[in-house]
A and B are shown apart, each in its own frame.
Chain A
Amino acid sequence: MSQENIQDSLLRFMTCGSVDDGKSTLIGRLLFDTKTILTDTLTQIEKTSKKRGMTAVDLSLITDGLQAEREQGITIDVAYRYFSTGSRKYIIADAPGHEQYTRNMVTAASTAHLAIILIDARKGVLTQTRRHSFLAKLVGIPHIVVAINKMDLIDYDESKYKAICESYKAFAKEIKLSENRTIEFVPMSALNGDMIVDRGESMNWYQGPTLLDILEKTTADYAGKDKNFRFPVQFVCRPHASDDHDLHDFRGFMGRVESGSISVGEEITVLPSQYKSKVKSIQLGDTQLQKAISEQSVTILLEDEIDISRGDMIIKSNDAKEPTKNINAMVCWLSETPMASSRTYLIRHTSRESKAKFDKIDFKVNIETLLHESISNLNMNDIAQVTFKLAQPIMADSYQNNRSTGAFIIIDESTYHTVGAGMIA
């Protein structure tokens, strides 16, 4: 594959659904039918299936890896799986569906280009379906596939399938889900393998693409199509002490292009210092690049000797950006320990860190009803709009415009645990 987008050769997607909707089976099926599961793994799960008294091989055992999961027969943490087709590599995040695992879904969603929302054909659109769709929207997943699973249990009935599609569409309209987002529907049986990789024989009435067809043609973009150049500096390379005298004045600014692109010769501004310079060269290993594009990790050298350190951000000079100490964000609380509004927390935004204090909680979103409620404190799995005051300025974009520079995590200052995830308004 040849493209100007580094990310197009790789698609990251997640599965969401309630317990028992068939997420693990679907992933097992994808891996199995794309020949990713190898004989020894298969032998192992055949054995385990038999031990549990099942007649067919339980493909969900491929993803349900942890001891506790196998004992309880449920998924308890996000698992990552991989497969490749001729055209691209896929990374799957299997997120558990239980209510208490909103945080796992948000975690899986944070890196996904696409979400497969599973619906049990017998049950149709449930509260959980609404919750998963809302979260996919909140975290900015640009592509949604509604997979209506277990079609075998409703005799592959086309009219029932269509009715479920209609009710989902009505709900999608209600929450404006299709704004900046594609939504596709596919009927399937993960158990029998219909319409996942192979079409099967049972649903000839369905003319649309299989699930894999959809995955293959989806562009690997993130919501937030910001083309503005953002380069958070991760590390400064100053090998002046080395034996090589040519390197005496070498100052390389190392980082990953989070969005947009930069070419040699372009004028840049460093934030928050506002120093200006020009790009002298761009390096990736031994290679000199003319241009660096989004998601490439490179080293940038500048014409002038200016002081830059980790946490600074390089942008283009024709693009203005004001560092800010006040942010308003949607926060998902991830920790079992509730937020203490009197405490100070740490915020990590790009390669920058700052102390932060909660200013006020505007509202909490009830993820069952999607209505706003007022609360005074955040508990695990709560999603709320919060205002913060920061000790250090950050170079924030709105999450809607930029998934990298609009996101941050909240760290507990004493335990160092990651306790929250934020998306800047």
Chain B
Amino acid sequence: MTTLSNLTHLDWLESEAIHILREVAGQCSNPVLLFSGGKDSLCLLRLAEKAFRPGRFPFPLLHIDTGHNYDEVIQFRDLRAKELNERLIVRSVEDSMKRGTVVLKTPDEPRNKHQSVTLLEAIAEFEFDCCIGGARRDEEKARAKERIMSFRDEFGQWDPKNQRPELWNLYNAKVHKGENIRAFPISNWTEMDVWQYIEREKLGLPSIYFAHKRPIVRRGGAIVPITPLTPKKDHEVVEEIMVRYRTVGDITCTAPVESIADSVEKIIIETASTTITERGATRLDDQTSDASMEQRKKEGYF
């Protein structure tokens, strides 16, 4: 038996997240957990285990696949779902393209923003009334005002001026048919909290989170990995350097950072001394405009 000692902020954050997950399970009739194989959603899975085991999760897992993924992340996604013996649904942006609901301007453009369409289609297909996601308020300014249970209308839109007030730990996940709640159990976590939790819980991660050698080019201050989807331009010089990813997403718009941190412990040390925010370092698409995330969320992005 464990005695109580050394309860830290991680225990509090964990307890809050478990409480939120159980509220979703108690209030919603058909929720789903969005699982990408990334570190935030891997934390969500551990929290769901703590919230619901020895029972099965009261929701399936859903991945909106952009088709622009690293293989090891997809393999990791499948492995984790199998280990947990939980149902994984995959819906892909490429199917939406075939249906003609996603139309690309250029063939190789980033597909992050198109995920919204595929997500809304999946919500309609399965009649999900709540999507649980791993977004954090510290990721981006527009997220800082996001509710833990955030209301979206039939078009999946978020209206920052018309959010439901959220008081104490009393959540309101009630919706009409067609409307949707996005629930964010780790809203109050920072990148550092996530890494500390991964360390404490000894969570496995896809290998691209750890320092590895990768061919890259330097483009306008950013490190761009060289892959079949992101070839080098003629004049560019390819270097092989040690990098790691701080987020996993669409290959065409997710950049690694230079790092020799090859363990969670070392990543925590690096995170503590880092001078660039997670999105600043790694999202090539958020920098276009100060308000680009807010814009995307209004359009139904996660």
Which chain A residues have a beta carbon within 8 Å of chain B's beta carbons?
A: 1-7, 9-10, 38-41, 44, 48, 63, 65-68, 70, 76-82, 84, 88-89, 91, 103-104, 106-107, 110-111, 234-235, 237-239, 242, 244, 247, 250, 252, 254-256, 284-291, 293, 295-297, 310, 334, 348-351, 403-404, 407-409, 411, 416-418, 421
B276 with A38: CB separation less than 8 A:
yes
B176 with A416: CB separation less than 8 A:
yes
Give the docked Cα–Cα distance between A418 and B13 (Å).
25
B19 with A77: CB separation less than 8 A:
no
Please indicate the chain A residues that have their CB under 8 angstroms from the CB of B9 in the complex: 9-10, 84, 88-89
Nearest CB in chain A: distance from B110 CB, A: 19
Nearest CB in chain B: distance from A97 CB, A: 16
Give the docked Cα–Cα distance between A103 and B291 (Å).
26
A66 with B22: CB separation less than 8 A:
no
Across the two chains, which residue of chain B brings its CB closest to A411?
B172
A66 with B50: CB separation less than 8 A:
no
Please indicate the chain A residues that have their CB under 8 angstroms from the CB of B161 in the complex: 68, 76-77
Which chain B residues have a beta carbon within 8 Å of chain A's beta carbons?
A: 1-9, 11-16, 18-19, 22-23, 25-26, 49-56, 58, 137-138, 141-142, 144-145, 160-161, 163-170, 172, 174-176, 187-188, 190, 192-193, 274-277, 280-281, 290-291, 294-295
B56 with A239: CB separation less than 8 A:
yes
A239 with B144: CB separation less than 8 A:
no
Please indicate the chain A residues that have their CB under 8 angstroms from the CB of B280 in the complex: 38-41
Give the docked Cα–Cα distance between A79 and B145 (Å).
5
Q: List 8 A-B contacts (CB under 8 A).
A: A9-B8, A48-B290, A67-B294, A79-B144, A84-B9, A235-B51, A255-B22, A416-B175
Among A287, A290, A296, find the residue whose CB has the most chain B CB atoms closer than 10 A: A296
Nearest CB in chain A: distance from B79 CB, A: 20
B168 with A111: CB separation less than 8 A:
yes
A297 with B145: CB separation less than 8 A:
no
Please indicate the chain A residues that have their CB under 8 angstroms from the CB of B164 in the complex: 417-418
Give the docked Cα–Cα distance between A89 and B280 (Å).
23
Give the docked Cα–Cα distance between A80 and B192 (Å).
16
B144 with A310: CB separation less than 8 A:
no
Give the docked Cα–Cα distance between A106 and B175 (Å).
24
Give the docked Cα–Cα distance between A2 and B8 (Å).
7
A9 with B12: CB separation less than 8 A:
yes
Please indicate the chain B residues that have their CB under 8 angstroms from the CB of A256 in the complex: 15, 18-19, 169
Please indicate the chain B residues that have their CB under 8 angstroms from the CB of A290 in the complex: 1-3
Across the two chains, which residue of chain A brings its CB closest to B14?
A297
Which residue of B8, B22, B290 is within 8 Å of A297 (Cβ)? B22
B2 with A287: CB separation less than 8 A:
yes
Give the docked Cα–Cα distance between A297 and B9 (Å).
14
Give the docked Cα–Cα distance between A3 and B11 (Å).
12
Which residue of B142, B166, B276 is within 8 Å of A39 (Cβ)? B276
Please indicate the chain A residues that have their CB under 8 angstroms from the CB of B291 in the complex: 66-67, 70
Please indicate the chain A residues that have their CB under 8 angstroms from the CB of B277 in the complex: 38, 40-41
Give the docked Cα–Cα distance between A3 and B12 (Å).
12
Please indicate the chain A residues that have their CB under 8 angstroms from the CB of B26 in the complex: 234-235, 310, 351
B3 with A40: CB separation less than 8 A:
no
Give the docked Cα–Cα distance between A4 and B169 (Å).
22
Please indicate the chain A residues that have their CB under 8 angstroms from the CB of B275 in the complex: 38-39
Give the docked Cα–Cα distance between A6 and B277 (Å).
28
Which residue of A3, A66, A234, A238 is within 8 Å of B19 (Cβ)? A234
Please indicate the chain A residues that have their CB under 8 angstroms from the CB of B15 in the complex: 6, 256, 295-297
Nearest CB in chain A: distance from B271 CB, A: 11
Across the two chains, which residue of chain A brings its CB closest to B144?
A79
Known: A106-B167, A234-B19, A418-B166. 13 other contacts (CB 8 A): A9-B9, A82-B138, A89-B193, A252-B54, A256-B15, A256-B19, A285-B53, A297-B19, A351-B26, A404-B169, A407-B168, A408-B170, A418-B164
Give the docked Cα–Cα distance between A296 and B2 (Å).
14
B168 with A6: CB separation less than 8 A:
no
Nearest CB in chain A: distance from B57 CB, A: 11
Across the two chains, which residue of chain B brings its CB closest to A254?
B22
Give the docked Cα–Cα distance between A236 and B173 (Å).
19
Give the docked Cα–Cα distance between A276 and B7 (Å).
31
Contacts A38-B276, A254-B51, A404-B169 given; does A77 touch B12 at CB 8 Å = no
A285 with B7: CB separation less than 8 A:
no
Which residue of A6, A89, A242 is within 8 Å of B7 (Cβ)? A6
A103 with B137: CB separation less than 8 A:
no
Nearest CB in chain A: distance from B34 CB, A: 20
B193 with A65: CB separation less than 8 A:
no
B170 with A40: CB separation less than 8 A:
no
Give the docked Cα–Cα distance between A363 and B227 (Å).
68
Nearest CB in chain A: distance from B185 CB, A: 11
Nearest CB in chain B: distance from A295 CB, A: 6
Please indicate the chain B residues that have their CB under 8 angstroms from the CB of A350 in the complex: 170
Give the docked Cα–Cα distance between A76 and B161 (Å).
8
Contacts A38-B274, A80-B137, A234-B19 given; does A6 touch B3 at CB 8 Å = no
